[in-house]
A and B are shown apart, each in its own frame.
Chain A
Amino acid sequence: MSDFQDAKTKRAIFAAMTAERELEQLRFSLIYLEDVDESCTTALTLLERISERWARDTAAKVARSNRDMDAMHAELSAAADSLLRQWSGDLSAMARAAE
């Protein structure tokens, strides 16, 4: 093979590697709309699923202090934190399961 053809081949190989690298970068920067849609929908369904029991348990605790606004507020705040923690935990578990 002549030096010229050798150089042409080398150039073509590096051009291919560059294009493949660009393709990988593009792939990692994009996500299917359907997957995003499904993730969000599932996350909200998870919240919906835990909401009934949470409302029942929280109502039982809050009703015990229903004449004391400060105690009620503290109970509701703790319950709100607990709900968000539980939801976040469920979402993490879902993400781990998906991996």
Chain B
Amino acid sequence: MITVSQTKLAQLLGVSVGRISQLKTDRRLVQVGDGIDLAASLALLRDTADPGKASALRLDRASAWLETALRSAAAATEAEDDADTVAAPTASPAYREARTRKERAMADMAELNYLLAAGELMTLEDANYAIADVGTQVRTAIEISPDRLTPIFVGGSQEEIEAGLLAMLRTVIHDAREVHRRHMALAQQGAVPGLP
């Protein structure tokens, strides 16, 4: 079991310590002694999330951190176990090769988790949401434009209509760029400092 402090949890979820206190009051966290059971709390937060509301909690990043912490703990246990049994010099080449492959994979995973925490990578789930949000913003604005523009264009010249259509599209593109910028900033700000 991995337990964390309130401060660490706030850092992992990208929210204030005050918000963590509120989640505790709302009984959405699982406490163990002075700490918080991270795996159980993340599961509880997911189960009790309001499906109609976008959550500000960075559950995916906290889960990634938890996975890395669990893997590190498992690797430490295995290393102790191996130290007690097979000494490296007497191990077979096949054994050494397998351990090297495993270490290489663990190192690559640690690197990916670091890049995720550093805001250079994002989960596909977040990326799909960000792209879909921009697409929806554009589609909706263009779809409702006839209702909005028809009364304005009545009696207008071709030049006025063209200028109006261009202005509408420029606003749509500008607003979509703003939505996109916000998503990118959020992905970068969601970085978890100190991830192993």
Contact = CB atoms under 8 A, between A and B. Distances in A.
A19 B109 contact: yes
Nearest to B134: A40
Taking chain B's interface residues, is the majority helix, strand, or loop, or is none over half, making it mixed? helix
Of B113, B147, B180, chain A has the most CB atoms within 10 Å of the CB of B180
B122 A19 contact: no
A55 B98 contact: no
Interface string A67-78: 101001100110
A19 B70 CA distance: 13
A52 B170 CA distance: 10
Interface string B77-95: 0100000011000111011
B105 to A, nearest CB: 4
Nearest to A31: B127
Interface string B117-138: 0011111110100110011001
Interface in A1-40: 1, 4-5, 8-9, 12-13, 15-16, 19-20, 22-23, 26-34, 36-37, 39-40
Given A39-B131, A52-B166, A76 B145 contact: yes
Contact of B120 (A22, A32, A77, A84): A32
Contact of A84 (B142, B147, B149, B157): B142
Contact of B99 (A16, A23, A37, A84): A16
Contact of A19 (B86, B102, B149, B151): B102
Contacts of B116: 30
A49 to B, nearest CB: 11
Interface residues on B, range: 35 or more
Nearest to B133: A40
Contact of B101 (A16, A39, A51, A56): A16
B153 A72 contact: yes
A19 B101 CA distance: 8
Contacts of B121: 30-33
Complex A-B, nearest 6 residue pairs according to Cβ-Cβ distance, in ascending order: A59-B162, A76-B146, A12-B98, A19-B105, A63-B158, A16-B101
Interface of B: 78, 85-86, 90-92, 94-95, 98-99, 101-102, 105-106, 108-109, 112-113, 115-116, 119-125, 127, 130-131, 134-135, 138-139, 142-143, 145-147, 149-151, 153-159, 161-162, 165-166, 169-170, 172-173, 176-177, 180, 184, 187-188
5 contacts: A30-B115, A32-B120, A33-B122, A55-B169, A66-B161
